[in-house]
Structure 1
Amino acid sequence: MRIILLRHAESLGNVDELAYCRVPDHSLPLTETGEHQARTAAPAVREMIGDHPVAVYVSPYVRTQRTFELLELGDVVERVVPEPRLREQDWGNLQDPVDQEIQKRKRHEFGHFYYRLPYGESGADVDDRVASFLNELEHRVEADPTHPNTALVVSHGLTMRLLCRRMFSWSIDLFESLSNPDHVDLRVLTFAGRKWRLDRPFEQWRDSPDGTVQLPG
């Protein structure tokens, strides 16, 4: 079993933070650069999948749906499941740019995992829902012999990090030391030898305070 994690391409919110004050987070489109990124990433994703069927689980946000669409994987896609549990962390209704900056500062001070945004979520809330998704995916694969052995998950940077945190039981200290992957960056989880393996680590902006690492020796 393989799970290929893919972050969406560049969206309007990545280049204009005030866009969140005008457009709902779930409706933010890709930029022209993002559209180019997704098309450019398509051959690498296709090569990774090969000629075998793939089940696609995609966040229902516009930027993730459009990223998947531009990959043009139609002939190998066995099923496409819009999965709300893979959405970005809910930041609530950020219509006030001053409050937006205050919330970002508080989140940085308190920690990305535990700080709950007003009318939104904490990282811990996202952690709970990705755990639910992983459990259901495991049961679905076990119960359905027709389910492909490869799953492509198109989601968001924080969501990708938390999926790996749950899969590998990383500490909160380690999670908060990791940086988001770049746009249309991949990580591959492979089940072999009775355990899951990560193909390569996420970049870290600091060593984990508790001394734990992503890929134990």
Structure 2
Amino acid sequence: MTEPNQEAMHHPHHHLPKRIILVRHGESQGNLDTAAYTTTPDNKIQLTPSGLAQARQAGNHLYNIISNDENKNWRVYFYVSPYDRTRSTLREIGRSFKKERIIGVREECRVREQDFGNFQVKERMKVVKESRERFGRFFYRFPEGESAADVFDRVSGFLESLWRDIDMKRVHRDPSHDLNLIIVSHGLTCRVFLMKWFKWTVEQFEHLNNPGNCEYRIMQLGPGGEYSLAIHHTDEEMLEWGLSPEMIDDQKWRMHANKGDWNEKCPWYLDEFFDHVADSDRESDDKENVGLVPCPGHPSKVMKLIVLSIDCNNVRHIFLTMYDLMVSYEDITSCDHFHEETFCLGFINKASSFSAVDCQFMRFLGGHSMASRKT
């Protein structure tokens, strides 16, 4: 049995889509007159004639962008929300592409509109939306409906499926093709998608503006394997969307970053939470967190132990199963490459919080330390 290709397990560059394009639907009857929601289910709201024209125009623009590449052997794959207005938008966009250019189309329920709660009484919705502004746009849940946080959860699940599709080459079978994924969805869903992808905070999300009808956001793959909005879009555009200067700088950094690199200049990664901690404090904390424990199997020696806790809720897309991942001391110490002085152990558990992970790890560590002392 052959070993799996390790590079293929980590989304090799040549199998990644060149672009991931988010498109909001065209103008709908509900956009024109919110009274439509009082008599028509949200998923049945239709496009207006103007919305149909917007979708055709968006299709022409996207075709020109995609077909302008040096590699003329490009393809497109569509994901679409099951709502009538997004399906109609896709049909009009699709007029710009020949069938041989389209690899496939998938209706994806997880990129549907935020659920505002069945039939919507106009006067009541006005009061509800005013309450949302006071409460916060991300966490406010509509009566009998969803919050943006709920949408975030299902979009996160969609992204996990998307990566599996890419890994399994379900959407990109020929590496010589430049693949373009086009996701036809809704305004809030597109914003939440970008929030999840680029790890934006709730505060940053709440400053984002909704895309206009048939506006699109193009995430393009850079030479290092990271996606960036700045490859196609200007600073002025991103400012209009509600991105802060720091967020725009991060997009520019991503244009040339290698996949997996860490942008240390992004303040929300660290200074957002630890701006009160001095560098000297961090260094002393680091020294305190490095423990010396007896080395299992080698009682006369000690090892440095660096404890890394990871919330599996944030990395579960890496694993195909949700079983706990643990590395046994015996397996490590029996390896030829085991280093006697320094040993780094990563412990990943599907606990609900970092503190729970730490507690479980320390119990695990304590048991092995006691056993080594008895020997």
Provide TM-score, normalisation by structure 1: 0.91
C-alpha distance in 2 between matches for 1:117 and 1:138: 30
SS at match of 2:167: helix
Structure 2 residue 174 is the aligned partner of structure 1 residue 140? no
Query: Could you say if the C-alpha distance between residues 146 and 101 of structure 1 is closer, same or farther in structure 2, counting changes exceeding 3 Å?
Result: closer
Structure 2 residue 212 is the aligned partner of structure 1 residue 182? yes
Q: What are the superposed Cα offsets for residues 163-197 of structure 1, whole Å, 9 maximum, x if unpaired? A: 10000000111111010111111111123313221
| AA partner of residue 227 (structure 2) | W
Structure 2 residue 227 is the aligned partner of structure 1 residue 196? yes
Structure 1 residue corresponding to 2:187, chosen from 148, 157, 176: 157
C-alpha distance in 2 between matches for 1:164 and 1:83: 17
Q: What are the superposed Cα offsets for residues 127-172 of structure 1, whole Å, 9 maximum, x if unpaired? A: 1111111111111111116526221000011111111000000011
Structure 2 residue 107 is the aligned partner of structure 1 residue 82? yes
Give yes or no for contact 1:181–1:203 (8 Å, CA) kept in 2: no
SS at match of 2:212: coil
C-alpha distance in 1 between matches for 2:65 and 2:241: 25
2:46 maps to what in 1? 29
Larger radius of gyration: 2
Structure 2 residue 123 is the aligned partner of structure 1 residue 98? yes
More deviation in 143-152 or 13-22? 143-152
Structure 2 residue corresponding to 1:39, chosen from 19, 41, 56: 56
Query: Could you say if the C-alpha distance between residues 81 and 204 of structure 1 is closer, same or farther in structure 2, counting changes exceeding 3 Å?
Result: closer
The CA deviation at 1:40 is: 1.9
| AA partner of residue 70 (structure 1) | E
2:148 maps to what in 1? 123
Structure 2 residue 238 is the aligned partner of structure 1 residue 213? no
Give yes or no for contact 1:161–1:180 (8 Å, CA) kept in 2: yes
Query: Could you say if the C-alpha distance between residues 131 and 213 of structure 1 is closer, same or farther in structure 2, counting changes exceeding 3 Å?
Result: same
C-alpha distance in 2 between matches for 1:191 and 1:39: 26
State the number of aligned residues. 214
The CA deviation at 1:78 is: 1.0
Structure 2 residue 79 is the aligned partner of structure 1 residue 57? yes
- Runs of 4 or more above 6 Å deviation: none
User: Identical aligned pairs, as a percentage?
Assistant: 38
1:168 maps to what in 2? 198
C-alpha distance in 1 between matches for 2:135 and 2:98: 43
SS at match of 1:164: helix
| AA partner of residue 125 (structure 2) | Q
Provide TM-score, normalisation by structure 2: 0.54
SS at match of 1:213: helix
Query: Could you say if the C-alpha distance between residues 68 and 21 of structure 1 is closer, same or farther in structure 2, counting changes exceeding 3 Å?
Result: same
State the Cα RMSD in Å. Answer: 1.9
Structure 1 gaps of 5+ residues are none
Structure with higher RCO (Cα < 8 A, 6+ apart) = 1
Query: Could you say if the C-alpha distance between residues 29 and 146 of structure 1 is closer, same or farther in structure 2, counting changes exceeding 3 Å?
Result: closer
| AA partner of residue 213 (structure 1) | M
Give yes or no for contact 1:168–1:196 (8 Å, CA) kept in 2: no
C-alpha distance in 2 between matches for 1:27 and 1:202: 33
C-alpha distance in 1 between matches for 2:27 and 2:123: 24
Structure 2 gaps of 5+ residues are 1-16, 174-178, 253-375
More deviation in 18-27 or 139-148? 139-148
